[in-house]
Structures are given as structure tokens and as C-alpha cells.
A and B are shown apart, each in its own frame.
Chain A
Amino acid sequence: MAYPVPIARKNLFHDRVRFIITLVGISFSVVLILVQVGVYLGMMYNTSSIIEHTDADIWITARNNRNFDFSMPFPEHRENLARAVPGAARTKKLILVWSLMKIKGGGSENVEMVGFDPESGIGGPWEMLQGAVGDVKFHRGVIVDESSTGKLGALAIGDYREVVNKKVRVVGICRGARRITTAPVLFTSYRTAQELNPWIDRQTVFVLVKAVPGADIAELRGRLARVMNLEDVYTRQQFINATRSYWTFSTGMGIAFGFTILMGIVVGAVIVSQTIYSATIEHLREFGTLKALGAENRMIYGIILQQALISGVLGFAIGLAINFAVVRAYSSTGQAIIQPWQLFAADFLITQLTCVAASLISVRKAMQVDPMEVFRA
């Protein structure tokens, strides 16, 4: 027999149906928040994965370009201006161009073709499953991401495909290069990208600048911006942020995710406050009795608060377990879902705060109980 009698726990476990409803509500909210944020962060990672895996400190783009995926080209000779700026160790050109690939059984798919410098590999794939990055030097060689097979069909090294009426040859399979646009990524050499897409002849889409070691990147960006007066100049982080904020705010994606996450919080809060409140109302006479027997107010706060926190912690634990099952199932489809520890910490706090806030309404009710209530029949 436990002594002191754990009144809060016994109250919770005594009314099992209500307790289960509370736990379902909290864990539902936890799963919704964790999964939605995880999927969102996974998508955000996709938007910037190529930028993050490219060895460059500064990204130069056409003027008023707002993100990685939809960029206008500009004359490639402008690279020379950038290269001459003090503090720039080296520059590389990188092309991102939308193109069309024919599918085996007929029809075609939009692809995002990335044309990089095959000598340095800068801007190219970073995790090869088959073949080598430099193989794009072979005539019209392309590297495709393993995730592309859904749209492009099965692909193997040596396969030929047609891009805008010209044959390309698959020379490698890479991993991790997914675009949020859902278009398959086709890595190829800078020259091949221009050749397959004649409208960007003698043009580049990005100029990538590597700073000399120890250089102040912000200052270098400023110097480059003065010289590259027809283009926009971003530090790497600025370009990542610009791309992410484009997808978050200019596409409605942020609102969609934000709304779902908010719904998770609201649903959790409503269910928790409802069940805790109704449990308090039901035990109101018992709280009054405790007071008559000489319990201090703080003991009664304590019981209600404990009920909220036990529900909160257990609900979070269940939600966490379900979350990992969902993540596992989701990841097996090849989608990225990113959940840093800060997400868990924040959601744990949100859940407990919601529970405590929900219980405060009940505490108020319990404190207002008329002392003579205990004598009512």
C-alpha cells in the first residue's frame, strides 16, 4: 500500500475511459506536431541540400532570383569579374535548368538538370551509389538520383534516355538529391547542360565563390556585390535561407504546415483541458471534503497539477513511440523526415505547458468550491 496515498494517480487510473481519452488526445497532438515539423524540416532540407553539399562560400545569381530551383541564367563571362575580387580563392559555374526527359513507355517528365564542373565535382552529387562523379565527362553522361525511378522508371548504368530530343547515357546513380519540386535531379557536366538546353548557351545560372582561408565572408560578399552589380550575391547561409523562406512563405507551404501544427496544439489543449476540467468537476465535492478535513489549498493544486503532468508525460511518451513508428514507415518510402532533439524538447515543453495551463482552469474551479458544498445531499 502506497503511503502517502497517491491521490492524483489513483484519480486518473480510476476513471480509465477518461484517462484513455486524455492520453489519446495528447499523443495525437504530439504525433501530429512531431511528424508535421519533421516532414517540414525534411522538405526544408531538400530545398537546400545541394547548396549545403556544395563547397562554396558565396552564391551569385541573376538579379531578383529568390531560390535555387527557379533561377534565370546570366552571361557566364561575368564569372571573370568575380574571380578578380580580392579574397576570392576560386570561382566555379553551376547550372540549374529545367528540362524534359522522355519516359520509356512514352510521355515525358520535367527534370532539374544540374550542370557542374566535372573536374572539381563542385555542385555535383555527394553520395554515389554506382559510378563516379567524374563520369559525367563521358559524352552526354548523366547521374540520376535513386529516388528518380518512381518518375523515370528503372535506371541502370549504361541506359540511354532522351532529353529534349538528344540521347543521354546514365553513368551513375546517386543518393540524397531530392528536390521539393518532386522533379528528378539529373546531374551532368556544365557543358552538357548547355548543349542539351541551347537557350542557355554561354550562360550560367550560379557563380560559386570560395573565399581564401580566414577571409571575412560578409566583407567578401560586400565587395562581390559592388562588382557584380547586375546580379545578386548571397552568402551560402543567406541563399539557404532565401530558398527556404521562398518555399515556406511564397508557396503556401508554411501556412499549410503551420496550420496543421497549430491544430495539433489546439486539439491537444482542448481535449486535455476538457478531460481535466470534467474530472475536476466530478471530484469537486471530494476536493471540498479534503479542504474540510484540513487540506491546504496547495495540496489541492498539487493533485490537479499532478494529474495534468502525469497525463502530459504519459501522453508524450505514447506519442513519441507512435511518432517513431510513423517516421520509420515514412522513411521507408524514401522521404526525408528530420527531427532534431530540440524538436522533441520543445514539443515536450509545449505538451506539459498545455496540460498545466489546462489544469489551471480546473484549479480555479476547485478553489471556488463553497465550503458548505460538502454538506449538500
Chain B
Amino acid sequence: MSDETLSVVGVAKIYGGDGLSVPAVREATFACRSGTVTAIMGPSGSGKTTILSILGLLLKPTSGRVVLMGKDVTSLDERELPPLRRASIGFIFQSFNLFSSLTVLENVLVALQLQKVAKANAMGLAEAALTRVDLVKRANFYPRDLSGGEKQRVSIARAIASDAPIILADEPTANLDSKTGLKIIDLLYNLAEERRKTVVVVSHDLRLKEHVNRVLWMEDGVIHED
């Protein structure tokens, strides 16, 4: 039970409200464990990004509860969420979302300065993260000079630099060729294993399912296990 770092209980999300309402997630209940990669797979529009946003505390569910490290965080207000996100969650995005005016190293450092990591430690942590994703030699490059795979590795470095226990990835391979994409998934898998991270990967790419610990299927907002 203690390795269930992030879970949702009866979570539903309906966009819109009165009149035009889109039910994007219906009654989802599942838990994600540390040391494992959970994949949420399903066709486009099935509600994957919505459930990931709820897991990432970026979106409030219409009903149900979100439990982070054993604590109900569903009704925390806007001011309490940023510190929680900083400390617990690293994000990886389909379009990488690197800071275009910052170098690779600076992109990683930003995550650390958000956590108010002292200068003395920050450089070492950033370099360690870049070493882990094998990008030290690109430390002073700008994102525009990197390949897609390299960009995604920078964003992984950014997500692991501050040692957040949870990594949420939305379609991390969609902008990459299939070989590079699988390498990224394998990297996430290794990180989960060696650092006991809780990794959730959302994807519509079926080839991923052989590279993760567990697959949740999603269709029309409904989640079910294999």
C-alpha cells in the first residue's frame, strides 16, 4: 500500500458545465506505484490528457478524489498547489516545452531554482541529471539546435533533476521517430526501476505496451485494466 504514491478514486471530469457538457473522464479509480511505469493508452479524444492533468494537479476533477502520497489533495486551493507540484511531480510533454531562450543546462537549472535549491547544489544536480540522460556534451546548446530525441531527454533531465518522486508524461513519443520514442520509454522505465519513481505515460502508441509494467486502457472516458 505504501508504494501507491498517486491515486484517483471515482474521479470524473465534465467540461463545459451547463448546456454543452463534454464528459471526458467517467468514474476512474486506479493507483500508480513507485518503481513502475503505468501506461494509459487509448484513441485520441478518449480523455487521456484530461486524466493526466488531474493526476498532475493542473485540473480539478468534477467529482472524486486525488490522493498524493497518502494525502487527499483534491480540494487544495491555488496557492497550495504550486509547492506540491514542485516537490512531487515532474512533467514531460509531447512538444517538449523547453525554454527556448535558455540553454540545456539552464533549462534543467530552472526546475531546481523553482525548488529553491541552493546554488552550491544546483550545478551538481543539474549535471548529474544531464549525465543520466547522456546530454552533458550538449549542456550549452539551445533547444533549437537539438534533435527531437535530445529535446525529450532534456525534459526528462528537467523532470528528474529535482528528484520529484512522480513523472507524468503526455504522449512523450508522439513527436519522435519510433526508434527514438522507444529509447525514451526505456529510459523512463530504467529511471522508475533504479530510482523508484512513479512514472505515468499517456500514449496512443500501442507499441509502447511491451515496454511498461502496466497498461490501463481508456475509451470514451472510461478506464479499465487489461
Residues of A near any B CB (own CB < 8 A): 1, 3-5, 7, 10-11, 13-15, 283, 285-286, 288-296, 299, 371-372, 374-377
Contacts and interface: CB of A to CB of B under 8 A. Distances in A.
Nearest to A287: B99
A5 B91 contact: no
A5 B86 contact: no
A376 B95 contact: yes
B139 to A, nearest CB: 9
B174 A289 contact: no
14 contacts: A1-B123, A5-B113, A7-B101, A10-B106, A13-B101, A14-B101, A289-B93, A290-B110, A292-B85, A293-B86, A371-B53, A372-B49, A374-B58, A375-B94
Interface string B90-130: 11011101011110011001110111000100110000000
A292 B102 contact: no
B52 interface: yes
Contacts of A285: 95, 97
Given A374-B91, A375-B53, A377-B174, A7 B102 contact: yes
A10 B56 contact: no
Contacts of A15: 101
A219 B20 CA distance: 79
Among B49, B93, B174, find the residue whose CB has the most chain A CB atoms closer than 10 A: B93
Interface in B32-59: 49-50, 52-53, 56, 58-59
Given A1-B105, A1-B123, A286-B100, A7 B56 contact: no
B152 to A, nearest CB: 14
Interface in B150-167: 158
A1 to B, nearest CB: 7
Given A10-B101, A377-B171, 20 more contacts: A1-B105, A1-B109, A5-B113, A7-B101, A7-B102, A286-B100, A289-B93, A291-B82, A292-B91, A293-B111, A294-B114, A296-B82, A299-B114, A371-B58, A372-B50, A372-B53, A372-B58, A375-B53, A375-B171, A377-B94
Contact of B59 (A11, A14, A299, A372): A372
Among A5, A288, A371, find the residue whose CB has the most chain B CB atoms closer than 10 A: A5
A-B pairs, 10 with minimum CB distance: A294-B86, A14-B101, A294-B85, A371-B58, A4-B113, A289-B97, A10-B101, A294-B82, A5-B106, A375-B170
Interface of B: 49-50, 52-53, 56, 58-59, 79, 82-87, 89-91, 93-95, 97, 99-102, 105-106, 109-111, 113-115, 119, 122-123, 158, 170-171, 174-175
A377 B101 contact: no
Contacts of A283: 100
B89 to A, nearest CB: 8
Among B85, B101, B113, B119, find the residue whose CB has the most chain A CB atoms closer than 10 A: B101
A377 B82 contact: no
B118 to A, nearest CB: 9
A1 B109 CA distance: 10
Contact of A293 (B101, B105, B110, B119): B110
Contacts of A3: 109, 113, 119, 122-123
Contacts of A296: 79, 82
A290 B174 CA distance: 22
A7 B109 CA distance: 11
Contacts of B174: 377
A300 to B, nearest CB: 11
A195 to B, nearest CB: 78
Contacts of B86: 293-294
Contacts of B52: 375
Nearest to B122: A3
Contact of A286 (B82, B91, B99, B113): B99
Nearest to B168: A292
Contacts of B110: 5, 7, 290, 293
B59 A286 contact: no
A374 B56 CA distance: 12
Nearest to B95: A377
B166 to A, nearest CB: 12
Contact of A289 (B59, B84, B99, B170): B99
Contacts of B82: 291, 294-296
Nearest to B97: A289
B59 A374 contact: no
B93 A371 contact: no
Nearest to A299: B114
A296 B86 CA distance: 10
A130 to B, nearest CB: 64
Contacts of B53: 371-372, 375
A14 B97 contact: no
Contacts of A295: 82, 114
A243 B62 CA distance: 72
Contacts of A377: 94-95, 171, 174-175
A13 B101 CA distance: 8
A5 B87 CA distance: 19
Contacts of A13: 101
Contacts of B56: 292
A374 B106 contact: no
Nearest to A13: B101
B85 A293 contact: yes
B167 to A, nearest CB: 12
